[in-house]
Chain A
Amino acid sequence: MQRETTRSRIVKGVLLALVGLFFLFPIFWVFLMSFQTNQDILRMPPSLVFTPTLDNYVALISGRLETNAGTLEIKFMGNLLNSFILAASSVILSLILAIPAAYAFARYKFRLGEDIAFTILSFRFAPPLLVLVPLLSYFQMIGLVNTYIGLIWVYQLITLPLILWITRGYFEDISEDIEHAHRIDGHGWLKTFLKIAVPLALPGIAAAALLAFIFAWNNFVFALILASADKQPVTVGALAFVTASGIQYGQIAAALILSIIPTLIFAIAAQRYLVEGLSLGAVKG
């Protein structure tokens, strides 16, 4: 392409620096706050020079918060654990349900097939509250309110369409000839599926699983409505924590950092597949 002039390179550099500042500064700033005492945080003007302390993290992990009004019990670690349980179990269940379905949609052009695939896709776009409010009454009736099982079931709304549509694309990319060759050798359908199709689609399956984990982790509204404090994930727990801890800003910052670190790590691990996953495979990244 065109050889750029020095001037346009400088302009581009400055613009990119501004863009980087806007998108990364909030993470950087809250990260710094999480290592500050409340005095450091409240000092005006704000300063980059301070003695870092781990007290905020220690308080969160030990679950005991020393305040002027006495010791406050906090269960933020419980929220983190809930997020892990909910996101991981939802993804595992979705993988079990969605991989065979994705394979069916990719390989067999069967009647109703597209209809079913689109029905499942359409869940992604319906207002979540529309389903959640009546679901709350049903869950109260059958005792699924505030249970992991109930939540994991509802989380399928997020993880299942995502995994189904991404893995479907990967199955479609596998040449059928390879599978046929295997079957001509006398292997059954199930063996071909498990030994040939699934391993070949594995990179896509892994990427879909990572992305589904991120989306499940980041969900807020499902647990807000269907769970109470002891089953709530970090997203809901952090909001409750902000209200409960009042002015313990250092701890709030530390709690926010702890709740974003897992998804950021997963995002870096899945970066090559982010585009594909986010756009449900509409664009080849």
Chain B
Amino acid sequence: MATNALSAVDHPGAKRPFLRVALPYLLSLPALLVCIGIIIPFFTAIYYSLQRYNLAFPQMRGFIWFQNYVDFFSDPAFWNTIRVSLLYTIFTVGIELALGLGIAMLLRRRTLLNDVMSLLLIMPLMIAPAIAALMWKLMTNPNFGILSYLASLIGLEDFRWASSPSTALLTVVLVDVWVYTPFMMILLLAGLRALPKQPFEAAELDGVPWSFVFFRITLPMLTPYIITATLFRMLESIQQFDIIYAMTQGGPGDTLMVFQVQSYLERFQYTNVGRSAALLMVLWVITFVMSNIFIKHWLKLREQARGVG
């Protein structure tokens, strides 16, 4: 449709058809070229992942096909990474969804107070996750941290937060929830406010109880938004690096060795390039599948939003 309309207008000056056909390509080429420079390393990463390649033993370097991947199956560290990454993703996204939906419901009506509130609540999202982790590190310091103090008030003497294996996951999940719940909140709030009013007005006239309205009307109508936001957050959460690295560098021990932290240490501490690349390829396959599902849902929602708006 767009091309038809354009060619109709272009008729008087249609002397240079080549340029007209090539124009869109020429316009998008620079952006693509800049990105291609960054695709090449991706293929290099695949190549690395098929090699025995440790910077400490250069003479041992060699092509070993899928041996790095095969080794993963019998490697407890790999299964630990899978377990921690999944737990981290499930906890963070689950809590953020519940909390974000709850807050969005509270702020649903457009009042001045609610608008100011939603603006204020976005602030943590605008803080660099690495910096947010350091802020929480200050607050959970065993000597003076306000949260350590509060924990001692409710009888949790010597609560070690991120430095104890039993509470480290809880602590980084808490920071992630602090940073990213606002994301869920504003997306679901936008979704709630875009819903048609009639079903709710009808339900109110009939005096339908609150819980019925929520579970039978609000939730089903909000589902496309929930799915899109949840997929997007899962995609980011399974790749989390900044918060965990800034807080504990993956420790204590191997408690917080999620994919990217593990492969970072594999590469820069143990100089094992091949293994690190193979681990990242496993993560890439997961995120590739997830991002395709996400993009499908996102496009549908985008069409919808553009249609309504």
Contact = CB atoms under 8 A, between A and B. Distances in A.
Interface of A: 1-2, 12, 15-16, 19-20, 22-24, 26-27, 29-30, 33, 41-46, 96-98, 100-101, 103-105, 107-110, 112-113, 116-123, 125-135, 137-138, 153-154, 156-157, 160, 164, 169, 172-173, 176, 180, 183-184, 188-189, 214, 217-221, 224-225, 234-236, 238-239, 242, 249, 252-253, 256, 259-260, 263-264, 266-268, 271, 274-275, 278-285
Given A100-B27, A249-B138, A278-B186, A176 B32 contact: no
B202 interface: no
B246 A283 contact: no
Contacts of A214: 126
Complex A-B, nearest 9 residue pairs according to Cβ-Cβ distance, in ascending order: A218-B128, A134-B44, A104-B27, A134-B41, A125-B291, A101-B28, A108-B24, A284-B309, A267-B126
Nearest to A32: B146
A239 B141 CA distance: 15
Nearest to A276: B190
A189 B19 CA distance: 11
Contacts of B302: 169, 280-282
A116 B183 contact: no
Main secondary structure, interface of A, reads helix
Contacts, number: 301
Interface residues of B, number: 106
B122 A271 contact: yes
A160 B121 CA distance: 27
A271 B232 CA distance: 21
B137 A242 contact: yes
Interface of B: 1-3, 5-6, 9-10, 13, 23-25, 27-28, 30-32, 34-35, 37-38, 40-42, 44-45, 48, 102-103, 106-107, 109, 117, 119-132, 134-139, 141, 143-144, 146, 149, 178, 181-183, 186-187, 189-191, 194, 200-201, 204, 225, 228-229, 232, 235, 239, 241-242, 245-246, 259-260, 263-264, 267-268, 273, 276-277, 280-281, 283-284, 287-288, 290-291, 294-295, 298, 301-302, 305-306, 308-309
B22 to A, nearest CB: 10
